[in-house]
Chain A
Amino acid sequence: MKRDIGKSMLLGGALSLAALGAHAESFNWASTTDPQTMDPHAVNSAPVLSFLNNIYEGLVRRGQDMSIEPSLATSWEPLEGENGWRFNLRQGVTFQDGAAFTSADVMFSYERASNEAADVRSWFAPVTEVRVVDDFTIDFVTSAPNPLFPSSIANFMILDADWATSNDAALPARDAENFATLNVNGTGPFTVASRDPGVKTVLTPNATWWDDAAHNVTEATFTPIGNAATGLAALLSGDIDFIQPIPLQDVEQVESRDGFNVLEGEETRVIMFGFGHEHDTLLYSTDVTDVNPFQDPRVRLAAAHAIDLASIDRVLFRGKIEAANQLVPAGISGYSEANQNRPDYNPDRARELLAEAGYPDGFSFGLKCTNDRYINDEALCRAAASMFAAVGLNAELSTGPVRDYWPQLREDDFDMYLLGWSPGTFDMEHPVRFLLHSQDDEKKLGSWNFGNYSNARVDELLPLVQQEIDPAARQAMIDEIVAITQEEVAYIPLYTQPLIWAAKDNIDLTQRADNFFMLRWVTVN
């Protein structure tokens, strides 16, 4: 009996070794959030779009350095005689079920993605009409010149029209799930072999993919692991090959072991403090109740001078953050090279400014922060609150989970608040549209400008920036916007959030600044 057990164990060992040989390029990875749907138009969230970019493709796509490159469109040019873009489509592309890709699929996908049932429809707000020219040419007409349009639809993924309609998935699921929520049929490098929502998703390469595969993955398994310690243990034990992200405090733990690499980069997300510009009084003050001192730019500048970013970097972020001086980090298109200065750490100047503004003894106010949205967000706010207090700005800190945070900000329930912003289009125009333009529900502008910072000149410049074709003229206008908003301290930009992934050292992969993970750049050595 005993010998039998020994034998079967030996046999089991041999079998698992053989299995190892056969699946040399199987790849297991984990992330904190499961993509909640396989429908590329249903949800506009990073976990979903990042995952589905491995399966579906857009007309254009982003390369390793975030640059726009041809994908299902081989080229595109501005329309002649009207505003908009013509896309010349790639020929000979097939969907994973074998159907041919044509302009009818692009048309169908446009209609589907711009429908009320789609969460991604805001991408098509500038589009007035879409015209099929022939099987491999399609025109997107826009209401005004729109130089950014091609790059703004990099995540607009194309579905097969016949597949979607014949499976009752002509529209994204609104109430009950539909076929496209659970099944896929893209043109991209991978396809879903099996899916157990929230538990495990297995991807296999698409043998008929039009592009040359740079990866060597034969099977990729994704597992969502919500608990950071569990994810780290899974990596260190070898159960998974790669995880995104890992917490800052675990970096040393991973680096100290043989066989693992930590990948560090800068995300494009800028962390900042915002003010209640249009609030007439402070909500959470115990001493100043009749006015809102933050309406005075000197007070806002004082708050900026109070922040000791170097200490925050050293103590909270192990030297991994990059100071920010505007709402996008350097390298993003439209970044204003002309306005690279940020208020230095100068508590004396801060006290002077407060005295000038009529608050020599400072005042108290409420600071709202998330505690589960950004890296070390709560710790950051605690540090900032004590730095503010050192110059007389007594912040009463309240922190909470993000699910409850945005509604509070929307209801103007704050004096000062924490916000992180990643420009979805990777252009400066994005934060100007959402954070700097005055709130205007009708034009759908300033929707994340919670304190309603408002400057007539900025409002005037935004549409001009959106329509300007000449890069130099466009940059000049952006420089003006950045100069104005720095001068008025519309926000206090703090730093760019670091991006920290970890992998076994036999894995080569690309860390893109938008935190998207692309399987097509993975090599298992």
Chain B
Amino acid sequence: MVYFIAKRLVQSLFVMLAVAFLAFSLFRFVGDPITQMTGVETSVEDQERLRDELGLNDPFAYQFARFTGDMLQGDFGFSYRTRQPVAEMIATRIPATLELGVVALLISLFVGIPAGVYTALRPRGAATQAILMMTLVGVSIPTFVIGIILIFFFGVQLGWLPTFGRGGTVNLGGWDTSFLTVDGWRAIILPAITLGVYQLTLTMRLVRAEMMDVMQSDYIRFATARGVPMGRLYFKHALANTMVPVITIIGLQFGGVIAFSIVTESVFQWPGMGLLFLESIRFVDIPVMGVYLVVIAFFFVLVNLIVDLLYVAIDPRLRIRDVS
């Protein structure tokens, strides 16, 4: 088991290296950091000197080697735009993104799974049709439109919830959390729903499809014939067997939720990593963009690893195979 995890972590290094390489080779097409860093009155000579100082005139291979070399030594560099250490900038933004992602995930699970079970058990019910219609709408509208609609309805028209930002946060040993204040919870609701809608729809449809499949299988019929109580039948025997594919997809999606919270963060001015990344693109802040992409790659690898470990926890057959 330890060997398995270690092997995966080593693999993750290669993934991050590959991502860093791809990212770095794309940066040159993003734009020129120097014109974004200097004012209009700055002379061409001063611009060139700055370009030299930042090492932007060095060959690509050298720049890449320096970036990865520094990173391996734990030196993430400094932002071109704000001069802050990149590691610190990203670290202070991680809590916002992770909390948003987790709440979005929880919303999608706590709504998606029951809805999926319900719609599978009553495939022809009016409520089922309504839910399916709504999720279809939810998945067809782009995230930012959902966000804007929610803001204008709940923020502007009704005035119930804040329109932007994180509200009140409490610092717990360097981790700014929204979970300990009412304002924080109020602020996270709309962005989490916006971010979770797609995931919710996916979860629900997946659970529904798997559940309908499982309900046809012999062991369920047998259990029904044996008179196993309905609640136990649905939620223990049937649902548990739908979970492996569901967890795979949800797990992989969670990496995506973190990575693609960019749009949601932008719409809600949510001070997470995604918003930082967007600002960095605007200013061609190469060090921040580079580190962000590598961190996101690491998240993906980590989430995949957790998914693999969850399989083992859920499916006893995998444990037996592991032992043998």
| Chain A residues packing against B (C-beta within 8 Å) | 12, 34, 36-37, 42-45, 116, 119-123, 173-178, 181, 196-200, 223-227, 229-230, 233-234, 236-239, 401, 403-404, 406-407, 424, 434, 441, 444, 447-448
Contacts and interface: CB of A to CB of B under 8 A. Distances in A.
Contact of A444 (B45, B268, B276, B278): B45
Contact of B82 (A37, A403, A406, A447): A37
B35 A227 contact: no
Contacts of B78: 175-177
B23 to A, nearest CB: 16
Contacts of A403: 30-32, 35-36, 281-284
B167 to A, nearest CB: 10
A132 B152 CA distance: 58
B271 interface: yes
A43 B284 CA distance: 15
B31 A404 contact: yes
B266 A227 contact: yes
B151 A230 contact: yes
B1 to A, nearest CB: 41
Contact of B49 (A43, A116, A227): A116
Q: Which of A45, A174, A237, A238 has the most CB of B within 10 A?
A: A237
Given A197-B84, A403-B30, A404-B31, A123 B283 contact: no
> Looking at chain A's contact residues, is the secondary structure mostly helix, strand, loop, or mixed?
loop
A313 B163 CA distance: 33
A36 B32 contact: no
Interface in B104-161: 148, 151-152, 155-156, 159
B314 to A, nearest CB: 37
A198 B39 contact: no
Given A177-B85, A237-B156, A403-B31, A198 B283 contact: no
B99 interface: no
Nearest to B88: A177
A223 B159 contact: no
Nearest to A181: B83
Given A181-B82, A403-B283, 8 more contacts: A43-B37, A176-B83, A197-B84, A227-B269, A230-B269, A234-B269, A403-B284, A404-B30
A83 to B, nearest CB: 21
A178 B83 CA distance: 8
Nearest to B155: A237
Contacts of A239: 155, 162-164
A206 to B, nearest CB: 24
Contacts of A406: 32, 35
Nearest to B34: A407
A233 B278 CA distance: 20
Nearest to A229: B148
A226 B266 contact: yes
B155 A44 contact: no
B324 interface: no
Interface in B57-87: 78, 81-85
B85 A176 contact: yes
A51 to B, nearest CB: 13
B276 A233 contact: no
Nearest to B151: A233
A199 B43 CA distance: 32
Contact of B165 (A12, A44, A223, A229): A223
Contacts of A120: 39
A223 B162 CA distance: 14
User: What are the 9 tightest A-B residue pairs by CB atom distance, in nearest-first order?
Assistant: A44-B39, A403-B31, A177-B83, A404-B31, A407-B32, A406-B35, A122-B41, A444-B43, A199-B271
Interface string B177-204: 0000010000000000000000000000
B31 A223 contact: no
B73 to A, nearest CB: 16
A226 B269 contact: yes
Given A233-B151, A237-B159, A197 B39 contact: no
Q: Which of B42, B45, B49, B182 has the most CB of A within 10 A?
A: B42
B267 A225 contact: no
A248 B104 CA distance: 34
Contact of B39 (A43, A174, A234, A404): A43
Contacts of A227: 266-267, 269
B46 interface: yes
20 contacts: A12-B182, A43-B39, A119-B38, A174-B53, A175-B78, A176-B85, A181-B82, A181-B83, A198-B271, A198-B275, A198-B276, A224-B269, A230-B151, A230-B269, A233-B151, A237-B151, A239-B162, A239-B164, A403-B283, A404-B32
